[in-house]
Structure 1
Amino acid sequence: MAGLMRLIVLLSMFAAITLTSRAQYILPITKHEPTKQFYTTLDIDSAAKSPVNLLLDLQTSLTWLNCRKLKSLSLLRLVTCQSSTCKSIPGNGCDGKTCLYRQPTPLGVTPAVTTGRVVQDRATVSKASLRSFTFSCAEEKHLRGLSPQVAGVLGLSPGRFPFWRQVTTAFNIIPKFALCLPSSGTGRFYIGGANYYRNNPVPMTLTPLKNIGSGNYLLSVQSIYVGGSPLSLNPSLLEGGAKLSTVVPYTVLQTDIYNALARSFTQKATKIGMFEAPGHAPFTDCFDEGASTRNKRGLKNVPVIEFVLPGRAGEVKWRFHGENTVVRVLETVICLAFIDGGKKPKESMVTGTHQFQDYMIDFDFSTTLMAFSDSLLLHNTSCSTWPSRK
C-alpha cells in the first residue's frame, strides 16, 4: 500500500512538472498605425495594477520605461551594485550603491544610449505574478520617437535579462516565446511552450537561429527568389545573414540586393498586368495595381518573394505574399514594401515588421530554432483572430 502511495505521489509530481513546463502565458500586441510600432501592455505593481504599454524590441536586453507612469513608485526596489543581478546585466554600471543600465534607444534618435537606475517590482502575466521583474527607469525625454501610447521598451533580446527569459525562469517553463504581429486588431505574444495552433493547424517551418551570442536574431539567408526565379547576387552580400527587427517597419536591404530584388519584381509584375508608377517616399518602386492583381481571397496576386533558409533536412523557404510584399499608398497604387539601405549599411539585410504581419514566429531557446508559419491569411485567419476554428 505504501509503495502504491509513493507511486501515486511520484506520478502526481511528474504530471505537475510536465504541466508547468508546458504552461503558456499570453499578452496582447497592438499596432500603432501612424508610427507602425508594435507594443504590448503589461501590468506592473501587483498592488496598484499599473498597465504600461511597451514597445516590442528584439535587440533590447533589459526592459526600460518611464517609471512615473507607475501608480506607486514607493514599491520599486533599487537593485544594488554588488548584487548578482546587477553583475549579470550587460552594460551595467554604478551610481554609488545603485545599479545602472545603459539603455539603447531602438529608433536611432539622439542620444542613442541613455542611463537609468535598475529596479524591481512585481508584474502580472496572464494573471500570474512575476514577483521580481527587473527593469530600469527612464526619463520621459528619453522616449522621443516612441508613439504617444508607449511608456518604454520591452526587452526581447537573446541575452540574460530580456522579459521572456525572466518569465520562463521564474515559472520554470520552456525557454521560448512567439509573436503574432497583427495587420489590424490585436495580435498575441506567447511565452512558454504550448500548441499555439491546436484548434487551427497551420504548417510551421523550422530554421536554425544564427550566432545568437551576438545579441541579435539572425537568419542564414542562402538565396532570394522573386516569382520563382533566383536573384543573381554576390554570395558575400548574404554572409551576414538577415537580422530580425520588431522596430523597423519595412525590410531594409543593401543597395545591390535591393536593386536586384526590385528589378526582378518589376519584370514579373509588368507581365501580370501591373504598370510602373512614380515612387512614394520612402518607397521607390511603385505600380498601378491594374485589374488582375486580386484573387478570390482578396490577396494581391503579385510576385511572391522567398527567402531560402537552411532547414533540418535541406533548404526551406519563407514566402512573402501580396500583403507582406507590397503596401498601398493610393487607392490604385501599391509599392514594393522594401527599402534601399545604401551601399555600406551596418547590416546587409534587416527584416521589418511589414513582412512579419499575420505570421506566427516562434523562438525556441531549448533548440535554438525559429519556427515560422505560412501567412495566416492563406488559411482564412490572421493574428487578430488566431487561433480559431475554421
Structure 2
Amino acid sequence: MTKPTLIFLILFSLNFASISALSQKPKALVLPIRQDVGTNLLVADIYGRTPLKPVGFVVDLTTRHLWVNCETNYKSSTLTQPKCKSAQCQKAGTKYCHTCPIAARPFCHANTCGYYLENPVTHQNTVGELAEDVIAFSSTNGFNPGPLVQIRDFLFTCSPSALVELKLPKGVQGVAGLAHAPIAVQNVLASKLGLKPIFTMCIPSGNSNGVIFFGSDGPYSLLPGLDFSKTLKYTPLTISPFDEYYINVKGIKINQKPVPGLNISLLSVKDTGSGGGTTINTLLPYTILEGSIFKAITSFFAQQLSKVPTVKPIAPFGLCYESKYFSSTLLGPGVPSIDLELEGKDAVWSIFGLNSMVEAHPGVLCLAFVNGGNEYRAKVNIGVYQIKDVPLKFDLSKSVLGFGGPLSGARTHCENFNFTTVA
C-alpha cells in the first residue's frame, strides 16, 4: 500500500463520523486513483457495503457499469436485489430475468434482473445479477477532500468470483465502469446526488495516487496551487454504439510539420460502430495505432531525428534510441512534439517527450506507440502512458472532452492533490 493511500484511508476513518453532519448535497466528489505496477491497469479503492469496507476496482472507460464479485466474502446488511420489471431494471436497460436453477451460485435470487458482464481484460463474459447497496465517496471543494458521503441504493451488478480471477490486479474485486451508459458510475452519482454528469481524470506519472473528480466544472487544484480547470481546451465527444468515447482528429503533425502519407480519413469519426476514429482506452498501457498510421508516424518521427542513430527496437515498440543523445527537459526527453489537431477552437493536443518516449530498457528510449495492425475497431487508441499527468475532463452534459497540457510544464503533477488535509 502506498503512503498516500494509507493517509487517505486514515483520513477516511477519522472523517467517517461527519457523514451524517453533511447538511447539504455535495457539489463534487473525489477519488484517489493509481496505476497497478504489475498490470499497468488503473485501480481505485472504493468504500461500500454496511459496514463500510474498501474494495479495489479497475477503472475503465469502456465498461458500462460498476460490477463486483458478490460470490466471495461479500457481507452487507444493506444489499438488495431489484425485482424483474422494476424501475431499477428499466433504468439499467436489462430485460433478462433470473430463474435461478438448483445449481445456481449463492448470490442468485429468483425474479431478479440479469445484466451482461465482461472482464474487460480477458473478455470473459457472463450474466450477473443487478443489485443495490451503499457506496461512499469523499466530497470535495476542489482543493481538499471533505466530509464523506454515503450513497444508498447505488445500482451495480454482482458477478461470480471467476470473473475477477484472471489478469486483474491482486486484491481487485470488480470494475468501476465510466462509459457513456445509464448506470455507469458517474451517471448513478449524478442522479443520486444531483451532480453534473462530469468526471475529470488526472492519472499519476509515478507510484503515488492521482485523482478523479466527479460532478463539477472545477476547481481542480493541485499543490502548490494550480487550478487546472482554468487551462483546459475542449473538443467534441462522439459516443459509439458501444458507449465508448471518441474524438475527431483532423490531422497529425510532428515537429510542427504534417505527417506525410497519412490517411486522414482513418482518423475521423465517421462510423464508430464499424471502425475508424480515435478513442481513449484506459486498459491499454500505450497508444495503439492502425498499421499504416503507425508506419507513417514512426517513419516521419525518425526523419526528424535523422542525425540520431537508432538501436534495435525493443518489443512491443518499433523505434528506439540510446537515451544519451537526448537532453532532459521539464516536458521529458528533448524530442519533437507530436500534435493531434482536434475539432474545436485551438484544440491541439501536443504530446511531448514525457508522454511519447518510454525507457524500455536501461539507457534505451523508445517511441511509446504500438503497431496494432487492424486488430482494433478504432484506428487510434490513446493509452494510459500518453495521458499520464495530462488532465482529461469528460463533460457528458455538453458532450465535450476537456484536456490540458502536461502538468510537469507547470511544475506540478497529478499526484499533487492535497489528500492529506481535510477541508
Counterparts of residues 226-375 of structure 1 (less than 5 Å): 226-232=254-260, 233-239=262-268, 240-271=276-307, 274-295=308-329, 297=330, 299-311=332-344, 313=345, 315-343=346-374, 345-375=376-406
Instruction: Rate the CA distance shift 1:344–1:44 in 2: closer, same or farther, 3 A.
Output: closer
Structure 1: segments with no counterpart, 5+ residues: 1-18
Instruction: Rate the CA distance shift 1:70–1:361 in 2: closer, same or farther, 3 A.
Output: farther
- Partners of 2:295 and 2:36 lie apart in 1 by 30
Q: Which amino acid aligns with 1:234?
A: N
- Identity, % of aligned positions: 27
Q: Does 1:189 align with 2:212?
A: yes
Farther-moved stretch of structure 1 (195-204 vs 301-310): 195-204
Asked whether the 8 Å contact 1:20–1:173 carries over to 2, the reply is no
Q: After TM superposition, what 4+ stretches of structure 1 lie above 4 angstroms from structure 2?
A: 19-22, 68-71
2:135 matched residue in structure 1 = 123
Cα deviation per residue 1:35-87 (whole Å; 9 max; x = unaligned)?
11111111111x31111111111111111111256552453101211112112
- Partners of 2:266 and 2:156 lie apart in 1 by 37
Asked whether the 8 Å contact 1:22–1:174 carries over to 2, the reply is no
- Partners of 1:347 and 1:117 lie apart in 2 by 31
Q: Helix, strand or coil for the counterpart of 1:243?
A: strand
The Cα shift of 1:278 comes to: 1.1
Q: Helix, strand or coil for the counterpart of 1:252?
A: strand
Cα deviation per residue 1:195-222 (whole Å; 9 max; x = unaligned)?
1148314421111102356511000011
2:114 matched residue in structure 1 = 100
Corresponding residue pairs, total:
362
Instruction: Rate the CA distance shift 1:92–1:359 in 2: closer, same or farther, 3 A.
Output: farther
- Partners of 1:133 and 1:215 lie apart in 2 by 20
The alignment's TM-score, normalised by the length of structure 1, stands at 0.87
1:156 matched residue in structure 2 = 178
The Cα shift of 1:308 comes to: 0.6
2:37 matched residue in structure 1 = 33
> Alignment RMSD, CA only?
2.1
- Partners of 1:176 and 1:150 lie apart in 2 by 25
Instruction: Rate the CA distance shift 1:70–1:41 in 2: closer, same or farther, 3 A.
Output: farther
Q: Which amino acid aligns with 1:355?
A: Q
The alignment's TM-score, normalised by the length of structure 2, stands at 0.81
- Partners of 1:241 and 1:351 lie apart in 2 by 11
- Partners of 1:122 and 1:231 lie apart in 2 by 51
- Partners of 2:267 and 2:24 lie apart in 1 by 40
1:85 to 68, 84, 88: 88
Q: Does 1:145 align with 2:167?
A: yes
Asked whether the 8 Å contact 1:57–1:154 carries over to 2, the reply is yes
2:232 to 198, 204, 207: 204
Q: Which amino acid aligns with 1:267?
A: Q
Q: Does 1:134 align with 2:170?
A: no
The Cα shift of 1:104 comes to: 2.1
The Cα shift of 1:334 comes to: 0.9
Q: Which amino acid aligns with 1:66?
A: N
Q: Does 1:179 align with 2:179?
A: no
Q: Helix, strand or coil for the counterpart of 1:374?
A: coil
The Cα shift of 1:110 comes to: 5.1
Asked whether the 8 Å contact 1:67–1:73 carries over to 2, the reply is no
Instruction: Rate the CA distance shift 1:367–1:146 in 2: closer, same or farther, 3 A.
Output: same
1:224 to 242, 252, 255: 252
Asked whether the 8 Å contact 2:114–2:130 carries over to 1, the reply is yes
The Cα shift of 1:253 comes to: 0.6
Asked whether the 8 Å contact 2:331–2:352 carries over to 1, the reply is no
- Partners of 1:244 and 1:222 lie apart in 2 by 16
- Partners of 1:22 and 1:353 lie apart in 2 by 30
Q: Helix, strand or coil for the counterpart of 2:415?
A: coil
The Cα shift of 1:149 comes to: 2.8
Asked whether the 8 Å contact 1:251–1:355 carries over to 2, the reply is yes
- Partners of 2:252 and 2:357 lie apart in 1 by 16
The Cα shift of 1:236 comes to: 2.2
